[in-house]
Structure 1
Amino acid sequence: MQPATQTVPVSVWSNPWHNLAFGFGSGTLPKAPGTWGSLVALAFVPLLQMLSGWAYGVVIIASMLFGIWLCGKVAEDLGVHDHEGIVWDEFAGIWITFWLVPAGWYWLLLGFVVFRILDIFKPWPICWVDRHVHGGLGIMLDDILAGFAACGLMHLMVLWLG
């Protein structure tokens, strides 16, 4: 569990890796940095949805692998397990949520809410991963799982609400 508010490192504005991990600065906002990071990531979804399904999948895999390295590096640089301002994991989770989901503002809104609920409340096994897996993988994995769960729920809703 992280402290309620952590100090924003100055390096977010001078180190490109830190800036990226902090979601182009969205993770520096004082309340709910994960939500702000998810909103910034959401802005990229319509662009990703223009890709073919396999190309979007490649972006997801790349964002996950890169994120494991990036989040681990930045957490180590800052000397913390998982700074609350590191939101690259939310980027990957949001992008996973919308893989093969139809385009449209209502799907964006619904997927955002579904992902945030899963990321905040962390149902099992997400909560177990959050507590027991550390380093860059630990920072990323709970959001990756939340993203895949949200993606599955979105596909069920697409079938149901169509």
Structure 2
Amino acid sequence: MNWLMEFIATACFTGKLPKMPGTWGSIFAAILIYLFWIPNLKAQLLIIAITFILSVISSDYLAKKLGNKDPDEVVIDEVLGMEITFLGLNAYHNLKLVFLGLILFRVIDIMKPPPIRYFEKLPGGWGITIDDAIAGIIAALILRAIGGLL
């Protein structure tokens, strides 16, 4: 069970890659979205709900195990943020859209504009997960605004 929680929290261990684990986790999510994102809103919402629950539980577990409030190797929250970025969009095999969403999400996740920092203060897996969910919402709104302009 311990290895499974770590496997989930680190998004198939991509969070253990060197130097920029959040970016590696986001790239991993972008690849999955490009290859498998189902253009069905109900299916997307189900995937996001499952990822959200897994993120809160597994990130809380690993944070406690490592004694770190928000360990760098926990990247399941980046996967969730990326999924939210593409909610309602058909990103399946759309390289330009996935790349743009990836860049937007990473910039927002790194910069953490208000109100994202507020949500980081929530306890345990909630704080780890919800700040990236909010970053995903902001990225989704910007992605749609850019798409409307194009």
User: What is the TM-score of this pair, normalised by structure 2?
Assistant: 0.91
Paired residues in the alignment total: 148
SS in 1 for 2:13: helix
* 1:51/1:101 CA distance change after superposition, 3 Å: closer
Greater gyration radius: 1
Equivalent position of 1:81 in the other structure? 69
Q: Is the 8 A contact 1:98 1:111 kept in 2?
A: yes
User: What is the TM-score of this pair, normalised by structure 1?
Assistant: 0.85
> How far apart are the structure 2 equivalents of 1:135 and 1:21?
13
Equivalent position of 2:105 in the other structure? 115
Structure 1 stretch 94-103 or stretch 136-145: which is displaced more?
Answer: 94-103
SS in 2 for 1:120: helix
1:33: Cα distance to partner? 0.5
1:79: Cα distance to partner? 2.0
Structure 1 stretch 142-151 or stretch 61-70: which is displaced more?
Answer: 61-70
Q: Which of 38, 54, 58 is the equivalent residue of 1:66?
A: 54
Structure 1 stretch 70-79 or stretch 138-147: which is displaced more?
Answer: 70-79
SS in 1 for 2:12: helix
Q: Which of 90, 114, 119 is the equivalent residue of 2:78?
A: 90
Runs of 4+ in 1 over 6 A off after TM superposition: none
SS in 1 for 2:89: coil
% identity of equivalent residues:
32
Q: Is the 8 A contact 1:93 1:146 kept in 2?
A: yes
Following superposition of structure 1 onto structure 2, how do residues 8-47 of structure 1 map, counting pairs within 5 Å? 15-47=3-35
The code of the aligned residue for 1:78 comes to L
**Residue 146, structure 1, aligned to residue 135, structure 2:** yes
> How far apart are the structure 2 equivalents of 1:127 and 1:79?
21
Q: What stretches of structure 1 of length at least 5 have no aligned partner?
A: 1-13
Q: What stretches of structure 2 of length at least 5 have no aligned partner?
A: none
Q: Is the 8 A contact 2:85 2:139 kept in 1?
A: yes
